[in-house]
Amino acid sequence: GVGTATPITQLDVDGSTRLTGSATSVLTGTIDPDGDTSVTGVGTLFQSELVVGDRITVTGETRTVTAIASDTALTVATAFSDNANDTDPDRLPALLTVLDSSDNLGLVVSDQGYLGVGTASPSEVLSIEGPDGVKIRIDGPNSPGGTQGIQFGHGISSGASGYIGSITTAGGGLGTLVFSTSDDGSGERLRITDTGLIGIATTSPVTTLDVDGSTRLTGSATSVLTGTIDPDGDTSVTGVGTLFQSELVVGDRITVTGETRTVTAIAS
């Protein structure tokens, strides 16, 4: 107990806390990288000097430690190049690592200040990895009309420049997804209803795609088809090495030996 006479956990602090990370240090022993993610040391003490989530610099390249098998064997997230032997490899210690009851890494804050959840090597300010399925969940009030979402800012003003949110419309997990852009994140531009209707510039779409305003559609440029076509004076066209099903749709026109015709069916 720190600041309390009645601690209820192994470390119970009543008051503010401050944690300062370790400075960069030189590891014991040498490492001769061989172009693999498996790293072998000579005279090293990986198990006592490193933890998963730390980064090491070997011959000028820095990699994140993802597993430690022994004092002389560890794994990094990205392979080192096959460089020269490093007699003074460096350790860049993670600021914070959190393990589960089986000693598996659950959370790490790297020396760069990047937060990794489910990953030892966060590549962005927040990196989340996990099995297939839900990765992030944001809950709001349990009532129709409740909203929850994410705002995006740019540091220029206190307002948000964009917003993606969900509006609860009924029970059973039904809701509407909205996309907004404005200096305060309030200007809705697009929404997808719980029935799959998409509204652009309208909050009440009544068709699969409902646009309130002008529209502009630009077709694809003329392109050369794969393969060859040798016309035989019939409406049935046979190609050699062609990819009609992936390169054409009914309604397209094709030009063969200077003559242009409209495609009415694609069999293969």
Distance CA 201, CA 189 (A): 5
Whether the predicted pLDDT of 114 surpasses 80? yes
Token couple for 250:
């009914």
Share of the chain above pLDDT 70, in %: 93
The amino acid occupying position 83 is N
Whether the predicted pLDDT of 96 surpasses 60? yes
Name the average pLDDT for the chain.
Answer: 89
Position 84 scores a pLDDT of: 82
Token couple for 6:
């009645």
- Helices (H) and strands (E) counted in the chain, each on its own, are 2, 21
For CA atoms 166, 168, 169, 173, the dihedral sign is positive
Question: Could you tell me which of 73, 78, 68 has the C-alpha nearest to residue 37?
Answer: 78
Distance CA 151, CA 185 (A): 7
What CATH class has 1-97?
mainly beta
Distance CA 108, CA 120 (A): 6
User: Where residue 137 falls among pLDDT bands split at 50, 70, 90?
Assistant: confident
Q: Are 175 and 167 spatial neighbours (Cβ–Cβ below 8 Å)? A: yes
pLDDT digits (tens, 9 = 90+) for 183-223: 555 688 999 998 999 999 998 999 999 999 999 988 888 99
Higher-confidence residue of 96 and 137: namely 96
Residue 219: HSE in the Cβ half-sphere, 13 Å Cα cutoff:
7
Position 23 scores a pLDDT of: 86
Structure pTM?
A: 0.66
Domain coordinates of the chain in residue numbers?
1-97, 147-211, 228-262
Across 239-251, average pLDDT: 95
Distance CA 199, CA 218 (A): 20
Position 207 scores a pLDDT of: 96
Whether the predicted pLDDT of 229 surpasses 80? yes
Q: How far apart are the first and last CA of the chain?
A: 75
Q: Report which secondary-structure segment, H or E, holds 49.
A: helix 46-49
Higher-confidence residue of 104 and 207: namely 207
Whether the predicted pLDDT of 171 surpasses 70? no
Burial readout 229-256 (b: 16 or more C-beta within 10 A, e: otherwise): beeeeeeebebeebebeeeeeeeeebee
Distance CA 27, CA 68 (A): 14
Distance CA 86, CA 93 (A): 18
**SS3 category, 43:** coil
Share of the chain above pLDDT 90, in %: 63
Residue 67: HSE in the Cβ half-sphere, 13 Å Cα cutoff:
8
Higher-confidence residue of 181 and 207: namely 207
User: Where residue 124 falls among pLDDT bands split at 50, 70, 90?
Assistant: very high
**SS3 category, 246:** helix
Distance CA 228, CA 217 (A): 30
Position 158 scores a pLDDT of: 67
**SS3 category, 183:** coil
Distance CA 266, CA 263 (A): 8
pLDDT digits (tens, 9 = 90+) for 49-80: 999 999 999 999 999 999 999 999 999 999 99
